[in-house]
Structure 1
Amino acid sequence: MRADGPRHGRPLRPAVFFDRDGVINADLGYVGDPSRFVLLPGAAAGVRAASAAGALTFLVTNQSGVARGFYTEDDVAALHRHMAGLLAGEGAHFDDMRTCPHLPDAPLAAYRRDCACRKPGPGMIVDLMAAWPVDPARSAMIGDKPSDVAAARAAGIRGLLYTGGPLEAAVARALAGEG
């Protein structure tokens, strides 16, 4: 635990970890440019509901488009700034975000590795839990793929498979201990 980080000296809180593509935005395949980013209806309401319930809100997203050369890490950062602006416009925010650009068989050698952060690995979730005052017993991951649920379980939290519908309902289930 870092003595200077947000976790130091704070009571543990529930957290909701959100996947990005397919949960927060339309999954249009390798979305790396703000012009292709479409916030899903109700996404901001779901993130806002988690915050209103006292939960920390985190984004954890694999971005193999970087490793494939479709866009850069700077492009992802710019897209996330754009996303944060859209969410803020609807009164929502993420407390923190993690991205994994790696891929075991990446065309770009700099990103070619089997990384523990790449879901279904738990690395991004574990990193956030180390940096923030997260109570794993009251926390959950909401994702649209089995790899999201597997990452959650590997990190010691519940995983909920999101198949659409109101994200607020998925957040309520996550915070009620379902999953």
Structure 2
Amino acid sequence: MDKGLTKASSKAFFLDRDGVINVDHGYVHKIKDFEFFPGVFEACQIIAQAGFKIVIVTNQAGIGRGYYTEQEFNELTSWMVEQFEQQGVSISEVQFCPHHAESGIGHYKQECSHRKPNPGMLLTAAKNLNICLNQSVLVGDKYSDMYAGANAGVEALFYVNKNELEVKESDFFTRCHSLHQAVTLFFD
């Protein structure tokens, strides 16, 4: 299916946030609770030097559940992007989905094409940044990330699981233990 991106010229690494960039302490929304994984900045420097855009795609059901606000999320996101900039890494875009069909409250309680495993965040970023999806990479730590990438037409999918002792090929993604390892495997 042509997603209208045949003339796209850029390629990107789509990165989930919690569990890939930072330790997932559960609904992280404060700077004091945000803990970057070792090797994240170095991995992103390699990505950028190879000419890939970096796009963060993150479900944020904590907003929809009322645990924190979009403003709090945006403040943390601005701080996080600044930390990357201080390491010489530009984050091209951050896409997030605050909706949750079952546990959302108010207008956040809805089905949304952007909530992973749906591909909406990736498709929107691809349109905004002229990204060729089949030449891009997705790194996530949940099956919903893998399905979002596959549903968007991303062919290089890396599933991060800190408990993996070895790299394993799956039906349609590669299992690894960190973003840094995913980047190393992709560029080898």
TM-score, normalised relative to structure 1: 0.87
CA distance in 2, matches of 1:131, 1:41: 30
Q: In the TM superposition, what are the counterparts of 1:14-93 in structure 2 within 5 Å? A: 14-93=11-90
Q: 1:11 to 1:98 in 2, by over 3 A?
A: closer
Residues 100, 108 of structure 2: 8 Å contact kept: yes
C-alpha separation in 2, matches of 1:107 and 1:136 = 30
> Is the alpha carbon distance of 1:34 and 1:53 closer, same or farther for their aligned partners in structure 2, counting shifts above 3 Å?
same
Bigger relative contact order, structure 1 or 2, given CA contacts below 8 A and separation 6+? 1
* C-alpha distance 137-80 of structure 1, shift in aligned 2 (>3 A): same
CA drift of 1:175 comes to 5.4
In the alignment of these two chains, the number of paired residues is 167
Query: Equivalent residue for 1:161?
Result: 159
SS of the equivalent of 1:38 reads: coil
Q: Provide closer, same or farther for how the CA distance between residues 166 and 150 of structure 1 changes in structure 2, counting only shifts above 3 A.
A: closer
> Contact 1:14–1:175 at 8 Å: present in 2 too?
no
How far apart in 1 are the matches of 2:134 and 2:34?
A: 33
Aligned to 2:172: none
Query: Residues 133 and 173 from structure 1, CA distance in 2 versus in 1: closer, same or farther, beyond 3 angstroms?
Result: farther
In 2 relative to 1, CA 29–52 (structure 1 residues): closer, same or farther, beyond 3 Å? Answer: same
| Equivalent residue number for residue 92 of structure 2 | 95
- CA separation of 1:122 and 1:11: change in aligned 2, threshold 3 A: closer
Identical columns (%)? 32
CA distance in 2, matches of 1:96, 1:128: 7
Contiguous gaps of at least 5 residues in structure 1: 1-9
One-letter identity of the residue aligned with 1:148 = D
Deviation at 1:169, TM superposition (A): 2.8
**What's the secondary structure of 1:102's corresponding residue?**
coil
